[in-house]
Structure formats: C-alpha cells, structure tokens
C-alpha cells in the first residue's frame, strides 16, 4: 500500500481503469470516487471499481492524500474551482488531461496555495470507448504517462504521482508542458482531426452506401479514431488550438505538395515523398514496437 486514501474525481474510462489498476496492485487502502453523473458513481460502486461512491465532491476528497481529477478537459477548470477550498492540507492533486498548457493555467488560477502540490499529468493510453463500463486494469500497462511539472511543483508531489502511475503499470516520463502540447498536437490531435474530417467528408459523398460497402481494410484502421468520444475530442481541440492549427498548417502544405505532384503527373517527386514517409514510419515501428492491444475491438 502506497496511498492510504485516494480520491478519483470523474470515473470514466481513465478514472475507472486507474482505480482497477491500483486495486490490482493493492496500492491503496481506500479509493473513493465521485462523478458529476450519479449513474457513473453507482456503476463504479456496483462493479467494485471504487470502494466508496461519494455523494458529493467534498466527501469524495475528505481525508484524501491524493486526488486524481479525471473529468473531461472541458470541465476541469470548474472542478478545480470547486476543489480549491476542499483539498485536505498536504494532499496532492493531479489530472489526466490530454492537453497540459491550458490545464496548468486553470490550476494556477483556481487552486490557490494548493497549486504547488498540483502535478499535471497525461496518461497516453485510451481506447475509442468511454465510460466506467469500458474501464479495465490493463489500460496503462506498458504505456507512457507524461508528467509536466512547472517550476513551482513540489518534488514530493511529483514523486507521489509518479509512484501511483508506476503502480498502475505505466512508465512515467517528464516533459515541458509546451513541448507536450506540440508533440501531441502532431501525433494525436491532428490525426484525430483528419480521421473525423475524412469520415465527415465521405458521409456527404454521393453513393454513400457503396462507399462504405467497398471500403478496404486500411480504411477501418485509418478511421478507427473517429469512433472516439466527440465531446472529449471537441474539448481537446479547443484546449490546444494554437499547436493544432500550427501543425495542421504544415500538414496542409505537405498535402498540397503531394496534390501538386499528382496534378503534374510528377512520378519522381511523388515516389520521393511516399518512399520517405514509408522509411520514417517503418523506422518508427522498428524503434518503438507496438504497445497496444489489437485495435478496434468489435467496433
């Protein structure tokens, strides 16, 4: 046992999976949980994901030494505001948001003196499903959790949050928040935007039934991430607009260059760019073997 009392605020896929992983590791004496949606609290209690379903935020965090805020990004500032006066002395607070800059700003504004015991965090794991019913203990196994502490962040708080994620099966890394947001914009936020845009576009084409009927296997993989939670991705995109629009601009230039090569029937240029991309992607897969479960579990 490394944590006496843990409070999880927001019990969806991430909060629920964290609770399950920590139970698997026997890392907590008690896990209390609260969610804006009372049904999520009931489900989590019924499934044995948490030990104690709290009736309100106050009772969830009372006596907690570690508070994990696992609500959607769009609700996080509000939750920080509600938390501010209720954080037990010495308790550590962390979050799981996929964007860190805006979360840090919100925490700095809302958490007051507790800000130095706030550790911004992002578990780079998930599925396209959401909700506590989809949670599972293995979600973080072998995945990275990126912590983005700032100058004020207490080293002790950082160590406690690191220990929690390691107990949950993850590998902990540290990054500057701005770099985190830039990297994730490129490798996660932009791909999601493209997948959503592609499906949105195809759904407006003529011959829609045929389009999907004849879609090849690559299409399924390529668009899997467009089955993710729209509310979550709206929040992510709105929380990281500058980095997303910046990398989107660079992407659009590359895409336009490829389109130009097609228009000009420039096979040499096309071959050069495609071959380069393949080399890079193959090298990526060689250096970083898949951590993931097979994709698209029945969806």
Q: Which of residues 55-94 bind a second copy (CB under 8 A)?
A: 74
Q: With contact defined as beta carbons under 8 Å apart, do 114 and 134 qualify?
A: no
DSSP 8-state secondary structure symbol assigned to residue 87: P
Structural tokens at position 209: 């039934």
Q: Which of residues 22-41 bind a second copy (CB under 8 A)?
A: none
Minimum CB separation from a second copy for residue 213, in Å?
7
187, with CB counted inside 10 A (0-12, 13-18, 19+), is: exposed
Q: Which of residues 108-127 bind a second copy (CB under 8 A)?
A: 124-126
Which DSSP helix (H) or strand (E) runs through 119? strand 118-119
Nearer CB in complex with a second copy: 55/245: 245
- Site for a second copy contains 201 (CB under 8 A): yes
Nearer CB in complex with a second copy: 113/284: 284
Segment near a second copy (CB under 8 A); pick from 55-63, 80-88, 101-109, 180-188: 180-188
Structural tokens at position 9: 């605020």
Identify the CA nearest to 52 among candidates 96, 94, 90, 6. 6
Segment near a second copy (CB under 8 A); pick from 33-41, 54-62, 152-160, 256-264: 256-264
Segment near a second copy (CB under 8 A); pick from 58-66, 87-95, 111-119, 190-198: 190-198
Alpha helices in the chain (DSSP H): 13-24, 38-46, 57-61, 76-83, 101-110, 155-167, 177-184, 190-202, 208-213, 217-223, 230-239, 241-263, 267-287
- Site for a second copy contains 154 (CB under 8 A): no
Nearer CB in complex with a second copy: 46/299: 299
Minimum CB separation from a second copy for residue 46, in Å?
26
Strand arrangement, sheet containing 121-123 = 121-123, 144-147, 171-174
Q: With contact defined as beta carbons under 8 Å apart, do 262 and 268 qualify?
A: no
Minimum CB separation from a second copy for residue 118, in Å?
22
Q: 220: which residues sit within 8 A by CB, 6+ positions away?
A: 296
Contact residue for a second copy among 13, 68, 175, 177 (CB under 8 A): 175
Nearer CB in complex with a second copy: 105/200: 200
Q: Which of residues 235-254 bind a second copy (CB under 8 A)?
A: 237-238, 241, 244-245, 247-248, 250-254
- Site for a second copy contains 136 (CB under 8 A): no
* Total of chain residues touching a second copy, rule CB under 8 A: 98
- Site for a second copy contains 215 (CB under 8 A): yes
- Site for a second copy contains 174 (CB under 8 A): no
* Cα 119 to Cα 5, 63, 104, 235, 239, distances in angstroms: 17, 19, 9, 20, 18
Minimum CB separation from a second copy for residue 246, in Å?
10
């Amino acid at each position: 046992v490394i944590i006496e009392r843990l409070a999880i605020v927001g019990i969806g896929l991430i909060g629920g999976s964290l609770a399950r992983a920590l139970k698997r590791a026997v890392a907590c004496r008690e896990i209390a949980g609260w969610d804006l949606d009372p049904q999520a609290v009931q489900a989590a209690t019924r499934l044995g994901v948490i030990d104690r379903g709290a009736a309100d935020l106050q009772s969830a965090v009372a006596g907690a030494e570690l508070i994990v805020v696992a609500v959607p990004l769009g609700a996080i500032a509000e939750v920080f505001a509600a938390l501010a006066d209720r954080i037990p002395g010495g308790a550590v607070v962390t979050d799981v948001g996929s964007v860190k800059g805006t979360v840090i700003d919100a925490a700095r504004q809302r958490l007051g003196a507790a800000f130095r015991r706030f550790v911004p965090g992002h578990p780079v794991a998930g599925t396209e499903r959401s909700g506590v019913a989809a949670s599972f203990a293995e979600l973080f196994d072998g995945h990275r959790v990126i912590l983005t502490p700032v100058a004020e962040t207490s080293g002790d708080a950082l160590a406690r949050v690191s220990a929690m994620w390691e107990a949950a099966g993850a590998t902990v890394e540290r990054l500057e928040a701005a770099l985190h947001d830039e990297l994730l914009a490129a490798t996660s936020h932009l791909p999601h935007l493209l997948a959503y845009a592609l499906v949105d576009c195809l759904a407006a084409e003529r011959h829609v039934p045929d389009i999907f009927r004849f879609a090849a296997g690559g299409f399924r993989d390529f668009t899997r991430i467009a089955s993710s939670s729209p509310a979550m991705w709206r929040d992510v995109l709105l929380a990281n607009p500058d980095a997303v629009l910046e990398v989107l601009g660079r992407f659009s230039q590359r895409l336009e260059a490829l389109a130009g090569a097609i228009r000009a029937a420039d096979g040499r240029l096309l071959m050069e760019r495609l071959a380069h991309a393949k080399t890079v992607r193959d090298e990526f897969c060689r250096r970083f073997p898949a951590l993931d479960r097979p994709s698209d579990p029945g969806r």
